[in-house]
Amino acid sequence: MERDLTTSEPILRLENLHKRFGPLEVLTGLDLDLRAGETTVVIGESGTGKSVLLKHIVGLLRPDAGSVYFHGRRMDGLSERDWVEPRMRFGFLFQLSALFDSLTVGENVGFPLTIHTRRKRREIDSVVAQKLAMVGLDGLQAKRVSELSGGQKKRVALARAIALDPEVILYDEPTTGLDPPRADVINELILRLRHAMRVTGIVVTHDMASAFKVADRIVMLHRGRLIFDGSAADIRRSTDARVQRFIEGRASAEDLEALHQRDEI
């Protein structure tokens, strides 16, 4: 599946996004352009709005102010009904996999096809087998999701996310909770989808090994805006203390001070 990547128009544009939940300001004027075919990694502290950002891209949340464009089309004001077709062009790997535990692996992966297409049972089965093969799990169709390991669940969720051959895949912490070799299987799948299917990827992660492996570009979200935007090499050279602390996994001076004051250690 070759895609025309020659246009310079970003596939996605987020402009001056603002979002608050009651008194909590989460996005405070976020701007981000995403180029087709690239994998952009989004890092940032827990609770900083990374999942909220992804949900704005697929219209699961609406901004209080600002705009979302997909292929130049304004999306944030679309009705739920008008979102149905464009949403099929996105694959969403949710933070907690969000599989249906009571269904089989095959039913889970085939779910988007059952809901959104008129394909016949046999065709759906064949797509399910193909997608499961892509994530290395063909043959597990009849297993219940509740019988799977965490790593297998992530791969089933990924197979489901690619069931409709999306142009863009949003990965919300795809490697969290996996041991390093299993996390690396997910990294390899992200790279394979990017190279074989020219998928545009957005990967939210805390896992810096994963970030460095899959990113064409890394952005860091902090207090509702981007404080870093550059390559993996650039981020290693960044002199911003907040960025360095994050990528090296060091607590801030204020956090350490707070711990000492509470006499917790």
Ligand X SMILES: Nc1ncnc2c1ncn2[C@@H]1O[C@H](COP(=O)(O)OP(=O)(O)OP(=O)(O)O)[C@@H](O)[C@H]1O
C-alpha span between 133 and 126 (Å, rounded): 11
Told to check if 46 binds ligand X by CB under 6 A, we report: yes
C-beta of 52 vs 68, nearer to ligand X: 52
Binding partner selected for residue 52 from ligand X, Mg ion, none, CB under the kind-specific 5 to 8 Å limit? ligand X
In the region spanning residues 5 to 34, those forming contacts with ligand X, defined by CB under 6 A, are 21, 24, 26
Q: Which of 137, 215, 209 is nearest to 180 (CA)?
A: 209
> Does 87 interact with ligand X (rule: CB under 6 A)?
no
Enumerate residues 88-127 that contact ligand X by CB under 6 A.
Answer: 95
Among 10, 37, 49, 224, binds ligand X (CB under 6 A): 49
| Phi/psi-derived region of residue 27, left when phi > 0, alpha when psi is between -120 and 50, beta in every other case | beta
The one among 39, 40, 51, 210 contacting Mg ion by CB under 5 A: 51
CA distances from 265 to 24, 250, 253, 258 (A): 30, 17, 15, 11
> Which letter does DSSP use for residue 27 in this model?
E
72 binds ligand X (CB under 6 A): no
Give CA–CA dist 109/113, Å, rounded.
8
Instruction: State which of residues 32, 38, 50, 135 lies at the interface with ligand X (CB under 6 A).
Output: 50
- Scanning 49-57, 64-72, 77-85, 186-194 for contacts with ligand X by CB under 6 A, the matching segment is 49-57
Q: Residues of 42-81 as b/e, b for ≥16 C-beta within 10 angstroms?
A: bbbbeebbbbbbbbbbbbebebeebebbbeeeebbebeee
Q: Please list the residues that pair with 69 across neighbouring strands.
A: 13, 74
- Per CB under 6 A, the list member of 12, 30, 32, 51 interacting with ligand X is 51
Q: Could you list the residues that contact Mg ion (CB under 5 A)?
A: 50-51
Residues making contact with ligand X (CB under 6 A): 21, 24, 26, 44, 46-52, 95
